[in-house]
Amino acid sequence: MSHPFLAGLNPEQREAATLPHQSALILAGAGSGKTRVLTTRIAYLIQTGQASPAGILAVTFTNKAAKEMLTRLAAMLPINTRGMWIGTFHGLCNRLLRTHHREAGLPALFQILDSSDQLSAIKRLLKALNVDDEKYPPKQLQHFINGAKEQGLRAENVDAYDPYTRKQQELFAAYDEQCRREGVVDFAELLLRSYELLNRDTALRAHYQSRFRHILVDEFQDTNRLQYLWLKLLAGPDAAIFAVGDDDQSIYAFRGARVGNMLDFERDFHIEKVIKLEQNYRSHGNILDAANALISHNRGRLGKNLWTAESTGEPIRLYEAATDQEEAQFIVDEARALKRDGIEFAHIAVLYRSNAQSRVLEHALFNAGVPYRVHGGLRFFERQEIKHALAYLRLIGNADDDGALLRIINFPARGIGARSLEALQEIARRQQTSLWQAAAGGQLGGKAGTSIGGFIALIESMRQVCDGLPLPEQIEHMLAASGLVAYYQAEKDGADRVDNLNELVNAAVGFVHEAEDDSLAAFLTHAALEAGEHQAEAGNDALQMMTVHAAKGLEFHAVFLGGLEEGLFPHDNALNERDGIEEERRLMYVAITRARRRLYLSLAQSRMLHGQFRYGLASRFLNEIPENLLKRINPAPRAYYAPAKNDWTAPPERAKPATSVYKNTGSPWHVGQNVSHAKFGAGVIVNCEGSGAEARVQVKFRNAGVKWLALEYAKLTAA
């Protein structure tokens, strides 16, 4: 029998869609048409009578993907898709628990807590138990609870080797009890409760195993441990799991995703059929060749090689800027040129590894009048941590700024609650004064008065220290004294926010360099203007900006990928994690394969970090892309990362800008100079700071890595 929906499939896609009843692994490369294969497989099973619409379970990772699958199915077959079990893990588990709420021990109308609701519930719990929320931060406890649940663990199953973890374990149990009393579940609970229900209720499990003989899973490489266990429970002895995924695009380990599930699936289900979808319908050949060459350096891959029937296309453009500002300007200029050549801004993406990188790019776009939209996050000056920092600066500059005071008077937490603030606001209304003046009057007594008095003293101290300091140093002092950096450093996922706070110092350095008025007031005005304008409205033609993580699943005619330096991409954090570099390489692979026609890679020889220009080394990933695929727009000698090579060169010497932020070492040593050390051997100076007895240099040694050396004791010699 001929099925019209099979027309147009390539041989591998057709083989996957028409497989006999057996579990199979479909290795679907980027741009290889996996969604089409999944929906065609479902249509084929229904059309050939192997399954009814009610007998199919299909799991996706986003509601958008589920909706698209249902829409395509409705167009392919004359069926009602409304009752089909196609959705996300959380959506399907919610449906199961609603249907069997009594067996699951839940009220019929149980409510679901989103992330912010869950955090509020944890804060209420800590307050009710009189637990110090500074010692046990609510967000940290939230991560602890969700992480355990995603491993399939209840409080009593968590290993607690120390008093702190045992206390977290107790709070986890108390939180579960609070949720039970209130008839609510969080997102992690949906999957865990569903798993526990199926695990203990053999009759219910047998019912669903016989019903769902065909289970299809999208983005299988992104499943975590509990999701895989849930799928194994649902798969009865006569079930066939059709798992579609790409181990080379597994980039969510930080969310619990476990790329090893693919290997476990092959073993646990005795997979005899692995079909590789390698024909790419998105990118030109040179882009795919670069991606293939890069990812081949990862060990333990299941293995595939993308190819296209399209032409090789244009070479990949590699631009090496002197500074991050120059890199940003290059991206802006090239994007405008592409626009003039007929490519809409909406089809151009600017990708970056870290959110903090967006600030320099946004500034260049703002100055050039180029509309842009930040996806998967907020614009730099609209981010929570930046708004907190700016509020501190506003209050330092103007004590009567009530909005700034209300934002930060209890952030980080200092024991000033809602009732204390209401009392303070009542005093201010009665006296017709600002909140600051009311607080400084000392009319509030007791603990509230002491806490508010401490806050007033803190701001006054900041104001005194900052008076006369250069703007960047004012911000550095505020970040440390306010406790903002320490607060976010203590958060499990706070590294990006700390990076953003450090980037605020860089913003101040750039502002001082460019502006005629370098006062705090002028900088705050600048921040307000950049925060309040230029974010394009939905539907307008705008440049697309996002992290590489946010870009997964998307594609663009042209892609810019910046910041390709060691420590940035791959990120420093990856160096301390098992298989961290391999995940970073997969992330780079995802970035490259977002581009259809044109790909730009860029890096900066110097980038502003913590208010100082630092010379960096080019990303090791650039060495893994064949030279014949690259077109160097402005080649320049530099120190490339080459762990197994000796053919490296020093970065070029560059004149310092007129308003240099380098700290003078007071020595003959300078950035870019080749040196030798008695113990570490030959190297090149990549950074200098301090003066006199405190002078030190950072050296990239050929065989000993990067090291900071105090000049007083280093005994360096010129090479």
User: Please, are residues 656 and 513 in contact by the beta-carbon 8 Å criterion?
Assistant: no
Active site residue 656: no
Q: What angle do CA 173, 179, 181 make, to 5 degrees?
A: 105
Does residue 156 carry a catalytic annotation? no
CA distance 276 to 285: 18
What residue type is 343 in one-letter code? I
* Longest alpha-carbon distance in the chain: 88
673 counts as catalytic: no
Annotation says 47 is catalytic: no
Q: How far is CA 436 from the centre of its chain?
A: 38
**φ, ψ for residue 268, nearest 5 deg:** -65, -35
Contact predicate 327/634, CB 8 Å: no
**CA-based angle 636:512:543, to the nearest 5?**
60
State yes or no: cis peptide before 412, omega within 30 of 0: yes
| Count of C-beta atoms within a 10 Å radius of residue 276 | 18
Q: How far apart are alpha carbons 640 and 627 in whole angstroms?
A: 14
Selecting among 223, 249, 474, 612, the annotated active-site residue is 249
Q: Which of 218, 362, 565, 582 is catalytic?
A: 218
Q: Catalytic residue at 264?
A: no
Is 329 an active-site residue?
A: no
Provide the residue type at 117 as one letter.
Answer: D
Tokens 């903002």 belong to: 484
Query: In whole angstroms, what is the distance from residue 226 CA to residue 428 CA?
Result: 53
Q: Which of 14, 15, 18, 35 is catalytic?
A: 35
Spatial separation of the C-alpha atoms in residues 464 and 260, rounded to whole Å: 56
H-run or E-run covering 60: strand 56-60
Residue with the two structure tokens 């070492």:
665
Catalytic residue among 497, 594, 596, 638: 594
Question: Of the candidates 379, 391, 371, 407, which has an alpha carbon nearest to the alpha carbon of residue 532?
Answer: 379
Name the catalytic one among 219, 246, 324, 327: 219
Q: Which value, to the nearest 10 degrees, does the dihedral of the CA atoms of residues 407, 411, 415, 416 take? A: -10
> Which member of 12, 13, 34, 357 is catalytic?
34
Helix (H, G, I), strand (E, B) or coil at 1: coil
Residues with a known catalytic role: 34-35, 218-219, 249, 594
